[in-house]
Structure 1
Amino acid sequence: MLFSSRLTSLALTIAVVIGAPLAQAAGAAPAAAPAATAPANAANIKAPLPLDELRTFAEVMDRIKAAYVEPVDDKTLLENAIKGMLSNLDPHSAYLGPEDFQELQESTSGEFGGLGIEVGVEDGFVKVVSPIDDTPASKAGIEAGDLIVKINGTPTQGQTMQEAVDKMRGKIGEKITLTLVRDGGTPFDVTLARATIQVKSVKAQMLEPGYGYIRITQFQVKTGEEVGKALAKLRKDNGKKMSGLILDLRNNPGGVLQSAVEVADHFLTKGLIVYTKGRIANSELRFSADPADASEGVPLVVLINGGSASASEIVAGALQDQKRGILMGTDTFGKGSVQTVLPLANDRALKITTALYYTPNGRSIQAQGINPDIEVKRAKLTAEADGDNYKEADLLGHLGNGNGGADKPTTKAKAGKARPQDDDYQMNQALSLLKGLSVTRGN
C-alpha cells in the first residue's frame, strides 16, 4: 500500500511537468484557435501512464536513496530525472534551472547587471580589453590594459575568464570592489556599483569609400532595430547610396527568430522570408517581407561559415533563395529547428524544440546547412614588399604623354592605417567581388 501511494504521487508529479508547459504554450499564443489545441492537450492528459515504467522509476529512485555512497534528496533526483527527460529528445531541448534561465534571458535581450568591461586572460590574470562607454567601468576610470588581480578581495589568478565574469555580473545597484594593476604599478582598488549593461549585437563601419560592412554577432531582441540604424548611418557616412555592402554572419550562433526575420526584411521588398512547421497548430508560422527597403537595393555579399547557425541560416537562406545577395564562405552549421522557451514555476523553464523552419524555396536546413554561392575558405593574408620595379616615366629622356597628362613615375607606397579587410581573406574577397560588380554595372 505504501508503494502504491508513492507511485501515485510520482505519477501526478510527472503529469504536472508534462501538462503545465502545454497549458502555458496555449496561453502564450492567444491568436491560435483554442479548438485546435484543446483536444491535443486533453489527449495528452488523459492518455494512460505506463505503470510498469513508473514502477521501475520509483524502484530506481528508492535504490539510489538507499544504496548510493552519499545521501541524495528527492528534489535532486527528480530534477536530474527531468533534465534527462529533456536531454534525450534532441541536442537543443533542455530543462533550465534558475541560473540557466536567467542567462538565456540575458543573452536574448542583450541586457544584464554588470560593470561594462570586455575582458580577456593574459598570463593567468584577467585583463581589461576595453571598458564600454557610459558604463560604471568607464565612469570609474578603468582603462584598457588594466589587470584585475582581485574581485572583492579574492585573487583572480588561476580563475577562468568565465568565473571572473560571473563574479562581476550580478544584481543591479550592488557594489563590487576590483583591485587593479596598471602598467606594472602598485595595486589599487576601485569600488563601483553594477548597472544595466546593454550589449550591442551589431557593428558597422565603412571599409572604403562606397563600401560598407555590418557584423551581427548574434540575434537579440533589438538586433533588427540595430541593423536598421546601422544601414542609415553607413548611408550618411558615405554621403550617398553605397556601391556595395558586406553582411558578416560568420560564427553567429543564432538567437531570436523574429529578429532574423526583421534583419532579412531590411534587404527584401517582397516574398517569403521563412516559414515553420511543427506538430501543434500554433507552431506553423509564415513571415513575409514588407515593401520598405532600408538597404536601398545595395549590392550585397553575405559571409557565412560553419559557425553560422539557426537565425543566421534563416537570413542567409532567405537572401539566397530571393537572389538578393551572394553568399560567400563555407557551409553553415545546419541547425534548422525552432526552440520555444516555456516558463515554469520557481524561475525555471523548458527549452523545447517545437518546429522546423524552411527557406522560401522550401529547403529544410536541418543537419545539412546552407552552401555558399562562392566557396572561400579561411586563409592568411601576407603582404609582400614591392620589388625595385621601374616605369616608363622613370627612364631618362622618356617621351611625354601625347594627351598632355602628367608623368607618373614610381613612388614608394606609404604605410597606411590597418583596415579589417587587410587581415581577413574572406572579407577581402567579398570586397573585391563587390568592386567587380560595381565596375561591370557602371557604378
Structure 2
Amino acid sequence: MHTPRSGWARMHPSMMTGSFRIGALIASTCLIASCTTPLPRLEPYSASHSMESEQTVSRDELVSTGNLEETIESLLKNPDPDVRRHAVHVVRMLDDLEDERRSAILEIMRNESDDLEIASRWASEGDEEDRIQGVPNPVEMRDRFISEAIEAERSGEFAKANRLASVAMSMELIVEDDAIMDRVMERPLRISARNTDRMKNIRMVDPRIAMTMSDSEFFDDFEPGNESPSEHRWRTEEESRHRVMNTRRVIEYLDDLHVDEIDRSIVHESGLDEIVLVTRKLIDEGHPIPGKYLEAIESERSRCGERRTLDLLLDLEMAQTELAEGTLPPSFSMRVFGDGAASALDGQTSVIWPGEFEQYTKAVGRGYRGIGVRIEEEIDGTVVLRPTNGGPARQSGIRNGDILLEVDGRDIEEIGARGLSEVIDNEGREWIELLVEHDDGVRETVRIRIGPVVNVNITGWRQTGLLQDGRPTWWWLADDRRRIGYLRLERFFSGGAHAVRTALQEAQKQALSCGGRLEGLVLDLRSNPGGQVFVAEEIINLFMGDGPVFRSIGRGGVMETEYADENHSELEGIPLVILVDELSASASEVVAGQLKMNGKAIVLGERTFGKGSIQGLIPASSPDCLVRVTIGWYQLPVGGESRGEWRFVDRDISPGDWGVQPDIRIAASAEQTRRMIEARSMWHSGVGLDVRIEDHTEVEDPSVELALGLLIAWINRIDH
C-alpha cells in the first residue's frame, strides 16, 4: 500500500531567510494565485443565517449516533421513498463487500503460510472489522514487523526491511486503535522511506545486486548488459560542481528551514553513516569498490565535527574521484550523503534528485508527452503498470496491473523503471514496444505510440464527451431530480481552486436545466494525498465564510492563523457530504476536519491518514533537484465544549488524537476502495482499444449511496 508523502507548497530561493516564517509562504502563494488566476464566481446558495442554524441541526440529527447500523435504520424509516431506496442499496452493498472480504481472508489463510504475506494481503483485501478466528492480531503483527524491519536494516537487508516496514504501515492504516500510536517504536513510514532510498541507490550502482537483495524471480535469467540509460545520464549531464552544490543546498535548507532546529554536525554524521552503510553492503555483495574509498569515508566520519559543509562535500567528491576507481556512478557520494542527512529528520523530509525530477513533474503537472502509465516498482523489483485514463498505453491495450517484462526487447531488470522512463522521454522516439504479462497470465507485446498525455484531477458522475485538447467533459449531477452534485478531487494541485469552481459552475448550470438550483453536493476525497495548502483553504472558504480555517506552527513555535473570507463563500449552507478513507491525507484532512467541526458537512468513510505536516518544495542549485523539507505542522480548531482550542492532525505529534474521524465509519478494504474510485472516475478517449462499454453495470459504492440518502433526507428537512 502506498503511503502519502505530499502536502507541500512551493518556494523560490529568494524567499529564504534565517528568520523564515511559515505564514509568509502561505500568504505569498495565495497572493500570487489570486493575482494571476481570478477565481470564477458561483451562484450563491443563499441560505439565511436562521436557515444555516436549522441546517446544522438537521446535519447533527442525521448523524447523531455516529453508528452506521442505526443511521441506516433511521433512513429505512424515512417517509421519502428515495431515501429508503438508497438505504436498501447500502445494506446490500455492505453485505456484498463484507462477504467478499471474508472470502478473501479465508483464502489467504488457506493458501499462505508466511505471516508477512498474510498481513500484506489482509491489509489490501481486508478491514479491521473482519476479525476471523485463527487470524493473528493485527496490532501484534504490526509491532513484530517493525522490530524485524529494524533488525533487517541493521544487518544490511534493506529490501527485506522495506517490505516489513511497508506491511507494518499497511496494518497500521486499517487498525482503528489510538493505542497503536502510543507504542514507543519507530514509525514504519520512516523505516520504509530510508530503505527505499537505499535500494534505489544500490540499484543505481549495480542492478544485479539490487535484484539479488530483492529475491527477484527473474534473477536467474538476467544477463548484465551495457551501461543503463539512467547511469549514462548521470555520467554525461551532471558535472561535479552541480553535484556538490545541489547537496550543499540540501544541507543548508534542512538547517535553515526545518521546523525543528537541528545540529548540523548530526546531519553530517547521518550523511556519512549512510555512505558507509550502503558502500559496505555493496562490497559485501561483491561489487568491486576499493577498500581505500571506504576507509576515506570512515576517516571523514571520525573528524566531521563542526566542519563546513562545503569543505566536507568537496573532500567526499575528491575521495570518490580519486579512490573509487570508476566503480561508482559519479553522483553516488553526493546523493547517498543527501539521503542520509534528510533521513535524520522526520519521515516526510526528502530530496527529489535530477534523475527523479521528470517523473515527479509528470505526476503533478496538467499534461506531458509520454505513454500515460504510472510506474510502480515493487520491493522485489517487479515493475507494475497503471495506465492513465485516455492515454496512449490504454489506447494500445495496456491493462491496469500489467507486469512489465521487456522494453524494446530488453529485460526490464536490465534497464529498471528509471530506464523505461528515459526511453519514453527520448524526444526522437515515436513508438515503444512493451512485453507485459496480464493478470490472467497471458503475455503480450504491445506497441504504443508516444504522444500527449493529460492529467485529469477532477472527475464527475459520468463522462459526457471530450474537448478538443483530449480532456473529458462531465455530467456533475449524481441525482438529476434532486439536483445533487458529485465531484471527486484526486489531489490539491496548483490551480485546483479555479478548476473546482469551474466544475461547480457547470454543475449549477446542469441543475438549472433540471429545474432549479444545486441542492446538495458529494465531495469525494478518498485516497487524496493532499497537495497545496492554499487550494484547501480556498475550497473550505466555498462552504464557510467566517472564522479560522487552520493554524500553522513553525520553527520556534511561531503561529500563523488563516481565516475564511466571506466574499468567497457562495456555497455556505449547502448540504455537503465529504468522503474520506485511510489514505486521505494532509490538505484532505484540513478540508474534511474543518467542515465537519463547523457543522458544514457530514464526513463518511474511515479515519484519515494523520499527516499534519507542511512541506516546502525548494529548488536546490540546479532547477531539476528539489528539496522537500518539513517547515511546520497543521492544527485545526476544536468544536463543542472545547471551542477556541486547537489540535494537531499529525499522528507523530498527536498519537492520541490524530487524523479526522468520520461522522459515520463505513468499512471497505483498500482494494475495494481503489476499485470503486477507479470505476467512478473512469473516462475514455474513444481511440483504439480505449472505448466506452455502453452496457456497463452501475458502480457498487456504499459510501456514495449512503451520502445520497443522507443528502436527500437533509434537503427534505430544510425544505420543510
Question: Which residue of 601, 607, 611 maps to 1:325?
Answer: 601
Segments of structure 2 that go 5 or more residues without pairing to the other structure are: 1-11, 26-251, 257-261, 273-295, 302-315, 377-381, 437-443, 462-476, 639-645, 652-657, 674-694
For 1:222, give the aligned amino acid: G
Deviation at 1:432, TM superposition (A): 1.4
> Greater shift after overlay, 370-379 or 160-169?
160-169
Do residues 255 (structure 1) and 531 (structure 2) align?
Answer: yes
Q: Name the counterpart of 2:625.
A: 348
Do residues 288 (structure 1) and 564 (structure 2) align?
Answer: yes
Q: Name the counterpart of 1:405.
A: none
Q: Name the counterpart of 1:208.
A: 479
**Per-residue Cα deviation, 1:226-253 (whole angstroms, up to 9, x for no partner):** 2112212222223322332111111111
Cα contact 1:266–1:294 (8 A) shared by 2: yes
Deviation at 1:283, TM superposition (A): 8.1
Cα contact 1:308–1:333 (8 A) shared by 2: yes
Separation in 2 of the partners of 1:74 and 1:173? 26
**SS of match in other structure, 1:307:** coil
Cα contact 1:251–1:305 (8 A) shared by 2: yes
**Per-residue Cα deviation, 1:166-215 (whole angstroms, up to 9, x for no partner):** 3675256752334799xxxxx998674433x3311111122222222111
TM-score (norm 1): 0.66
- The 1:289/1:154 distance shift into structure 2, 3 A limit, reads farther
Deviation at 1:278, TM superposition (A): 0.2
Q: Name the counterpart of 1:25.
A: 16
Cα contact 1:131–1:143 (8 A) shared by 2: no
Deviation at 1:115, TM superposition (A): 3.4
Do residues 194 (structure 1) and 432 (structure 2) align?
Answer: no
Q: Name the counterpart of 1:217.
A: 490
Deviation at 1:324, TM superposition (A): 0.9
Q: Name the counterpart of 1:229.
A: 502
Do residues 153 (structure 1) and 412 (structure 2) align?
Answer: no
**SS of match in other structure, 1:26:** coil
Question: Which residue of 82, 94, 97 maps to 2:353?
Answer: 97
Question: Which residue of 425, 446, 456 maps to 1:170?
Answer: 425
- The 1:189/1:376 distance shift into structure 2, 3 A limit, reads closer
Q: Name the counterpart of 1:419.
A: 698
- The 1:168/1:251 distance shift into structure 2, 3 A limit, reads farther
Cα contact 2:552–2:561 (8 A) shared by 1: yes
- The 1:226/1:433 distance shift into structure 2, 3 A limit, reads same
**Per-residue Cα deviation, 1:128-149 (whole angstroms, up to 9, x for no partner):** 96762xx7679xx746879999
**Per-residue Cα deviation, 1:414-442 (whole angstroms, up to 9, x for no partner):** xx97333xx11222222211122123233
TM-score (norm 2): 0.43
Question: Which residue of 666, 687, 696 maps to 1:376?
Answer: 666
Question: Which residue of 627, 650, 654 maps to 1:366?
Answer: 650
Deviation at 1:327, TM superposition (A): 1.0
> Greater shift after overlay, 144-153 or 307-316?
144-153
Separation in 2 of the partners of 1:32 and 1:77? 35
**SS of match in other structure, 1:338:** strand
For 2:627, give the aligned amino acid: L
**SS of match in other structure, 1:359:** strand
Do residues 439 (structure 1) and 695 (structure 2) align?
Answer: no
- The 1:214/1:348 distance shift into structure 2, 3 A limit, reads same
**Per-residue Cα deviation, 1:349-386 (whole angstroms, up to 9, x for no partner):** 211100011224422101011111222222889xxxxx
Deviation at 1:265, TM superposition (A): 2.2
Separation in 2 of the partners of 1:107 and 1:317? 26
Cα contact 1:284–1:355 (8 A) shared by 2: no
Deviation at 1:76, TM superposition (A): 2.0
Cα contact 2:23–2:552 (8 A) shared by 1: no
Separation in 2 of the partners of 1:74 and 1:126? 29
Cα contact 1:117–1:130 (8 A) shared by 2: yes
Of Structure 1 and Structure 2, the greater helix share is in 2
Of Structure 1 and Structure 2, the greater strand share is in 1
Separation in 1 of the partners of 2:324 and 2:405? 39
